Amino acid sequence: RKEVEQDPGPFNVPEGATVAFNCTYSNSASQSFFWYRQDCRKEPKLLMSVYSSGNEDGRFTAQLNRASQYISLLIRDSKLSDSATYLCVSGTASKLTFGTGTRLQVTL
């Protein structure tokens, strides 16, 4: 079993749609949680940290459920520019573990 599991997609959604990604992590010692965005052939870039209280950054909302070891990302009012692969990440103090990513394609 992978330490961080995500649905690989692709998710094909029209512009303006709301889309949700989920992932699960297996290491109960994980203390840090993130969503990264990766464009094709580019480096991963931090999208947002994820906290148990939930956090929002514009159209993006992230949620963490420690009891279920489950992380989510909600994107509202999708834009064409949101098309990318979204990496779910969990980590301890010494290292991060990345999921294989969920691909999002936003279309006109």
Partner 1 sequence: DADVTQTPRNRITKTGKRIMLECSQTKGHDRMYWYRQDPGLGLRLIYYSFDVKDINKGEISDGYSVSRQAQAKFSLSLESAIPNQTALYFCATSDPDRGKDNEQFFGPGTRLTVL
Contact assessment for residue 78 and residue 17, using Cβ atoms and an 8 Å cutoff: yes
Contact assessment for residue 42 and residue 88, using Cβ atoms and an 8 Å cutoff: no
The one segment of 9-17, 45-53, 55-63, 73-81 that binds partner 1 by CB under 8 A: 45-53
Query: Residue 71 or residue 78: which is nearer to partner 1 going by CB?
Result: 71
List binders of partner 1 among 49-88 (CB under 8 A). Answer: 49, 87
- Pick from 9, 74, 98, 105: which binds partner 1 (CB under 8 A)? 98
Query: Residue 42 or residue 66: which is nearer to partner 1 going by CB?
Result: 42
| Number of neighbouring beta carbons within 10 Å of residue 88 | 28
37 belongs to the binding site for partner 1 (CB under 8 A): no
Q: How far apart are CA 84 and CA 104, in angstroms?
A: 5
Contact assessment for residue 3 and residue 95, using Cβ atoms and an 8 Å cutoff: no
Sites of contact with partner 1 (CB under 8 A): 8, 31-32, 34, 41-46, 49, 87, 91, 93-96, 98-101
